[in-house]
Every structure is written in structure tokens, then in C-alpha cells.
A and B are shown apart, each in its own frame.
Chain A
Amino acid sequence: GAVVSQHPSWVICKSGTSVKIECRSLDFQATTMFWYRQFPKQSLMLMATSNEGSKATYEQGVEKDKFLINHASLTLSTLTVTSAHPEDSSFYICSAREQKGLNEQYFGPGTRLTVT
């Protein structure tokens, strides 16, 4: 089946630093990848949609200069949290849509970010 990986699985960083999270589709090509944020015991909130070779589309209320998204290839998208603050601590989950698929998205295992 379609597998999506994320790296790292967890990261701790200090306030003011930047953190990069990678999302890879391992056995399929993904023209579209999605980044979600999940607070403890809450649902997933879509942050942005990333299309290969073009700029990401951010959801309302998500700062594009703070959450930089790059989708340079059909198998890799990255999310960089710039100048991280404690309120950015969360569980970040990516998903990828197969080129030929319908609406189904395959989800990565998530990355837990803790900003101290």
C-alpha cells in the first residue's frame, strides 16, 4: 500500500530557532501534499496544500512566512517552522494524494514538535 514517511518523528527546539520537517511518499508519486496540525486531544486542522512545483496554498489564519512549505519533487515536501515559539508546539501531520487517485490521502505518522 501507499506509504508516507515523516522525519523527524519528534523534535525539541529552542524558541527563536527554525525546524524543518520532511514528508516523503515512499512508493508513489504525489502531486499534492497536505500539512495538518493537531493539538492534544483535538482534531486535525489543515494548514496548507502543497502542489509540486508551485507555491503552497495556505488556509485562513496560517502565517505563510512562519510556516514555509516547499514541494520540490513528486515525493518530497518540507515544512519549516521559522522562529519557533512555545505556542507552535504541536503534532504536525502530512498527507499525500496519489496522482491518479480520487480524494483519498495517505497520512504520515506525524512529527511532534516541542518548543522550549
Chain B
Amino acid sequence: AQSVTQLDSHVSVSEGTPVLLRCNYSSSYSPSLFWYVQHPNKGLQLLLKYTSAATLVKGINGFEAEFKKSETSFHLTKPSAHMSDAAEYFCVVSPLSGGYNKLIFGAGTRLAVHP
């Protein structure tokens, strides 16, 4: 069975400080992993994805994530938070086996950025 756990429901940082959003996954197959961001009243936007290539994945808006198989983790980081980063972030897992591409969402982490 596949699942994803976002370890923090809320994260609050000051503008200009680093961001760390934690995600652990469980998958019977080699998974694809994604981070999506959801701003209020807007659609989900893909930040980055891991699909068994480089373990350090760089995404948009300065975000990156590192796939660590030994720790079954895929934490999202950004060196310096911006006010516009305040949003809901979802870690998502999808098994690659057999072309099956169902997305399984984590519960989400709400990121607040303070001046």
C-alpha cells in the first residue's frame, strides 16, 4: 500500500529564513513523488517532482527536495522564505509500477510567512 505522511500540519517562518516542510512516504513500488502548492482560491501548482532520476530535485520558486530512500523521506526546502510562499503544500506519492498513476495526497502543511 502507498501512503504519505506530512509531519507538520502548520509551519510558521519569518520572511528571509529557511523553510523545511517534512514528508515521509510508504510505497511498495518505486514511487514518483511530488510537491504541490495550493494558494487560496487557486488551483494546485506543481513545485517539483522526483521520478527515479537525480535524488536532489530542484523546482520552481527556489524550492528543492531530496529523495532519501533509506529514510523514506522527501522533505521540501527553500533557503529563504518570501511572503508569497504562504500557502498550503501537499506531498504526493504515486507508484510507477505498471503505469498506474493514482496520486495519493498527504494531509497538507500550511505555511505561514511573517514579516
Q: Which residues of A contact B (CB under 8 A)?
A: 4, 32, 34, 42-46, 49, 93, 95, 97, 102-110
Contact count A vs B, C-beta below 8 Å: 49
Contact between chains at A105 and B103 (CB < 8 Å): yes
Q: Specify the main secondary structure of chain A where it touches its partner.
A: strand
Q: Please give, as numbers and ranges, the residues of chain A lying within 8 Å of B108 by CB-CB distance.
A: 42-43
Q: Does A93 lie within 8 Å of B44, measured CB to CB?
A: yes
In the bound complex, what is the Cα–Cα distance between A93 and B103 (angstroms)?
13
Name the B residues within 8 Å of A105 (CB-CB). Answer: 101, 103
Contact of B43 among A42, A45, A110 (CB under 8 A): A110
Count of B residues near A, CB < 8 Å? Answer: 22
Decide: A49 near B102, CB < 8 A? Known: A44-B90, A102-B32, A104-B46: yes
Task: Determine whether the beta carbon of B51 is less than 8 Å from that of A103.
Answer: yes
Partner-A contacts on B (CB < 8 A): 32, 34, 36, 41-46, 49, 51, 90, 94, 96, 101-108
Assembly CA distance A43 to B106 (angstroms): 7
In the complex, the chain A residue whose C-beta lies closest to that of B6 is: A43
Report the minimum CB–CB distance from B56 to chain A (whole Å): 19
Structural contact, A46 and B102, CB atoms closer than 8 A:
yes
**B88 to A: closest C-beta gap in Å:** 9
User: Min CB distance, B101 to chain A, in Å?
Assistant: 4
CB distance from A41 to the nearest CB of B (A): 8
Taking the closest CB of chain B, its distance from the CB of A40, in whole angstroms, is 11
